[in-house]
Structure 1
Amino acid sequence: MTKAKTMINFPNPTRVHDESRHCVYFWGYDNAREIVFQIDDVVLAKLNPSKDGDESSLLAAFDRNRDEILAFARTVYKGGPQNRYIVCPDQLH
C-alpha cells in the first residue's frame, strides 16, 4: 500500500505581522489540522527592496508575492507532527 501524498491548502488569506518577532505569520490546513508558517521581515524586504520596512509595506510585499510564498510553503510541508515552518531567506528569489 502506498502512502497518500500530503496536501496543504491555504483557504484563509489572513496574514499577520508580528513586530516583536520581525515576521509575518500565515496559516495552511492539512484537512482540519492548522499549520503555522512564518516568513521573516528580512525575506519580505528582499522581495520588496524599494519600500520601507514598516508593517504595511511588509504585508504588501507578502501580498504581491503570495503565490510564490505559498508555492514554497507547499514544497517544505511534509506532514507529520510538525505544525510550524519557517520560510528561510535563501529559499526565495
Structure 2
Amino acid sequence: MTLSFPNQSRSFDKDRNAVRFTGYDGMFEVPFYIEVDALARVLSQPLSVQDCLTAFDAERTSILDVAREVYAHRKLTSYTLTAANFH
C-alpha cells in the first residue's frame, strides 16, 4: 500500500509544539507532526498557533510529499518532520 492523506484535517499539538496531521497506509492510521520551527522557515518569522495552521495549509502539498519520503524510508508508529527534512 502507499501512504495517502484523504483527511484534510490538522490540529495544533501544544505538548509537541507542532501541527498534527494523519496519513493512511491501507487501513493503518499514521500520525505525523511538523515542528513549528519547520513551519517558521516557510514564513521567516515567529508563528502563532493560527500562523502555524495557515502555513501548513499553504504548504500542504510539499509537506505531504516530504511526509511520504520520510515514511518510505522507515516504518515507525509516528513521524515528526523537522526543518532538516525540508532542503
Provide the residue aligned with 1:49 in structure 2: 44
Provide the residue aligned with 2:77 in structure 1: 83
Note the alpha carbon deviations across 1:40-83, whole angstroms, 9 max, x for none. 01111111124x51111110000000000000011111387622
Q: Of 7, 15, 26, which aligns to 1:12?
A: 7
Provide the residue aligned with 1:39 in structure 2: 34
Q: How many residues align?
A: 87
Alignment RMSD: 1.8
Q: 1:69 and 2:60 equivalent?
A: no
The structure with the largest helix share of the pair is 2
AA in 1 matched with 2:53 = L
Structure number, greater radius of gyration: 1
**TM-score under structure 1 normalisation?**
0.83
CA distance in 1, matches of 2:74, 2:67: 15
Structure 2 stretches lacking a partner, 5+ long: none
Q: Tell me by how many angstroms 1:20 deviates.
A: 2.8
AA in 2 matched with 1:9 = S
- The sequence identity of aligned pairs, in percent, is 33
Quickly say closer, same or farther: Cα 1:46–1:80, change in 2 above 3 A: closer
Note the alpha carbon deviations across 1:7-56, whole angstroms, 9 max, x for none. 10000001110123210110000001000011001111111124x51111
